[in-house]
Amino acid sequence: MKTIDRLRYIASRHRMRIALPEAHDPRVREAASILLRDGIAEPVLIGPGGTDPAASPHLERYAAHLHDRRRTKGLTEAQALELVRKPLYFASVMTALGDADGCVTGADTTTADVLRSALHAIGLAEGESTLSSAFLMELPDGRVFTMGDCAVVPYPDAGQLADIALQCARTHQTLTGETPRVAMLSFSSKGSAKHERVDLVTEALSIAKGKQPALDIDGELQFDAAWVPAIGSKKAPGSPVAGQANVLVFPNLDSGNIGYKLVERLAGATATGPVIQGLARPMHDLSRGCSAADVVNTAAVAAIQAHHRA
């Protein structure tokens, strides 16, 4: 069974409510039909053709939640009420308050707007200080691994990079059931090069180990040392990760975004994501070039994460 089919099956066992605030988009409507038909999740379409926020009995309660979270930033009650009339913010608050278990959007909305609404309405989970992303990748031969951050943080500092590593490890374990083995990638392996960018990776490794000592994580590692057993044993002998990594953490968004697209386009991998990490409740972004299947797959991921959170 392909990984995405397995994720759809697992999601179908829990039937979580997933808000879809782009009911006007034919791809989203098609995805909602598939989710309902296959029992993957209970879709809640919001916007033209679905729930009208302006006519909802929850409108004032949702506005009060948003105002309470953003009043110190200058948001007035009237502005909050105006925002939650928009399907994106209505769905975000709906998820924040537990009236939906997760939210999937971005088919016709920019990433910046999606993340802004998520942070304003839902916020970061307790103990989290970084918002990041990951892609679950499946190669044609069935091998599955996670890559991050490929969509959110352009140039993380050491603390943020450590957070990204821990978040990606958690995402990988939640979605695959595998024990994560995390490689902190660099152009250097175990001191083969000296540079401040290498130092940043090793500092992030130290921070991550301090937070989760039991996690299998190592670095800095070049990709071949992380992926190929023979090279890993040569470049990083004794490493618990080298040559067998299933979580790849990139040092910046340049390398992460380029890397996942190279694997997707040249190696024929299936990419599921971006899975947004660090929020208190699952809310995920879509590419504006997404298909209905992408919406379904992302909704399945949100449903599984919601079940784990519960």
Domain architecture of the chain: domains with CATH: 1-123+279-310 (3.40.50.10950), 128-278 (3.40.50.10750)
In 3D, which of 19, 35, 29, 27 has the Cα closest to residue 49?
A: 29
pLDDT at residue 258, as a whole number: 96
Tens-digit pLDDT profile for residues 227-262: 999 999 999 999 999 999 999 999 999 999 999 999
d(CA 26, CA 273): 20
pLDDT at residue 198, as a whole number: 96
d(CA 263, CA 260): 5
pLDDT at residue 273, as a whole number: 85
Measured distance between the N- and C-terminal CA atoms of the chain, rounded to whole angstroms:
26
Residue 50: phi and psi, rounded to 5, are -135, -150
Verdict on whether the full-model pTM lies above 0.75? yes
d(CA 146, CA 81): 39
Please state at what angle helix 292-309 crosses helix 3-12, rounded to 10 degrees: 60
**Nearest 5°: CA angle at 257, between 256 and 258?**
95
pLDDT at residue 125, as a whole number: 96
pLDDT at residue 139, as a whole number: 96
In 3D, which of 192, 184, 162 has the Cα closest to residue 240?
A: 184
Tens-digit pLDDT profile for residues 190-206: 999 999 999 999 999 99
pLDDT at residue 207, as a whole number: 98
Say if strands 144-148 and 132-138 run parallel, antiparallel, or are unpaired: antiparallel
As a whole-number percent, the residues of the chain with pLDDT over 90 amount to 95
Say if strands 283-285 and 102-105 run parallel, antiparallel, or are unpaired: parallel
pLDDT at residue 90, as a whole number: 98
- In this prediction, residue 140 has a pLDDT band, given cuts at 50, 70 and 90, of very high
Tens-digit pLDDT profile for residues 15-24: 999 999 999 9
pLDDT at residue 289, as a whole number: 87
pLDDT at residue 287, as a whole number: 86
For 37, residues 6+ apart whose C-beta sits below 8 A from its C-beta are: none
Tens-digit pLDDT profile for residues 75-126: 999 999 999 999 999 999 999 999 999 999 999 999 999 999 999 999 999 9
Residue 310 has pLDDT above 80, yes or no: no
Q: What is the dihedral of CA 308, 257, 146, 5, to 10 degrees?
A: 70
What amino acid is encoded at 278 in this protein? G
Residue 222 has pLDDT above 90, yes or no: yes
pLDDT at residue 145, as a whole number: 97
Residue 269 has pLDDT above 90, yes or no: yes
Place of tokens 């892609």: 135
In whole numbers, what is the pLDDT of the chain averaged over residues?
A: 96
For 55, residues 6+ apart whose C-beta sits below 8 A from its C-beta are: none
pLDDT at residue 1, as a whole number: 75
pLDDT at residue 63, as a whole number: 98
Please state at what angle helix 111-121 crosses helix 87-96, rounded to 10 degrees: 40
- In this prediction, residue 309 has a pLDDT band, given cuts at 50, 70 and 90, of confident
In 3D, which of 52, 10, 301 has the Cα closest to residue 171?
A: 301
Q: How far is CA 239 from the centre of its chain?
A: 28
